[in-house]
Amino acid sequence: MSKTYPEMTPQEFERARQHFDLPISRFAVLIGVQWRQGQRYRTGASPVPAPVARLIRTAINNDLDAERIG
C-alpha cells in the first residue's frame, strides 16, 4: 500500500530552494527539471509532481546538502 503525501505548495517549494541556498536555475537542475519548469513550480503555474516533492522533502528531512542529492 503506497503512502499518500500532501501536495507541495509553491511556498514550500520556494522555502526548499532557499534551504539549499541555490538560484532557481541550479535548484531546478538539482531536482532534474529545466529551469523554466522550476519557475513554474515556484509560481504555482504547474503543480510539483509527487516524486519531485518526495525527493525534496527526503533531502531536507535527512539533512542532505545540494551536492549529495543529484
Residue 63, sorted as left (phi over 0), alpha (psi -120 to 50) or beta, turns out to be: left
Quote the pLDDT of residue 2.
53
CA distances to 1, 33, 37 from 41, rounded to whole Å, are: 28, 10, 6
Q: What is the pLDDT of residue 4?
A: 61
Blockwise average pLDDT, block size 10, the chain, 70 residues: 74 96 94 96 96 93 78
Give the domain ranges of the chain.
Answer: 10-64
Would you state the pLDDT for residue 1?
47
